[in-house]
Amino acid sequence: MKQIIFFLVAVISLSSCTNYGKKVKSSNIEVYYKDGISEETAQKTADYIYTLDTQEETKNNKKSFQLNKDGDTINCKMVVNEDKYKDIPMATFQRIGYMISKNVFDGKPVNLILTNNKFKTITTAYFTKMDDAGGESGYGERVTSGNIEVFVAKGADMTDGEMLAKFLDRDMQPSSMISFQIQKGDNATNIVRMVSSEEKVAGLTDEAVTKLMAKISETIYGNTDIIFEFTDSKFTTIKSYNYEPVVEMQE
């Protein structure tokens, strides 16, 4: 994978411009940074990417990246050869995003955005949680709809995962990727987890959370009890809610 990826970026020169942001370098690797990225983080990214650049025939060629932050998501732009990148599976680019996420950003989502030599987007390899072997981790089997990804874990049904992804994509219409996980808990209770942050969770009202839980319960689970949890990017619980729908008594 290393040889394929860096061959793609090795033959491209970045177009001259002054608005790419500030720049740091690690030998032949240059990383521009803006919008919430510190110089220290940009340098750490450049240094890490340099460790991956092992192909002797292209090692000394300049390779260009750009970092910016969109909420909790990091966008990492990478200049690629427009004639060659289509020959590479998208999973390979997702692997690069995962590696940068793990080794630089403490597991925060990193979208790898493939660009031309003016940092104009060609396509995006959205962040995917992986294990160190490159496959899906214990988070579950992944399904997506737009900018919603749902990991279907222990005991949960893939159909529910697909329905939830489609419903949340329509309901939330997020501009960047949001991660969820579903699984079965004790007594077959349905558990829905949503990746967030302590700061965002602290700003939510119980009313807003209850409204979301009610929609999920009614739309996906036939108006039954669910446990809803906000988590960090590794699905470690930050705050948990129990939802029990009100059932009208028939006379």
> Quick one: pLDDT at residue 136?
45
Per DSSP, the three-state class of 2 is helix
> What does the radius of gyration of the chain's CA atoms come to, in whole angstroms?
21
Domains of the chain, by residue range, sit at 2-125, 141-243
CA–CA distance, 224 with 240 (Å, rounded to integer)? 17
Share of the chain above pLDDT 90, in %: 49
The stretch 28-55 carries a mean pLDDT of 89
Cα 7 to Cα 10: distance, rounded to the nearest angstrom: 5
> What pLDDT digit, counting tens, does each position of 195-206 carry?
998 999 999 999
Q: How confident is the model at residue 193 (pLDDT cuts 50, 70, 90)?
A: very high
Per-residue pLDDT of 114-142, as tens digits, reads 999 899 999 998 887 665 433 444 678 88
Average pLDDT for 140-149: 86
User: Nearest to residue 77, comparing CAs of 103, 47, 40, 49?
Assistant: 49
Quick one: which H or E segment has residue 231?
strand 226-231
Instruction: Please write the tens of the pLDDT for every residue from 67-81.
Output: 999 888 999 999 988
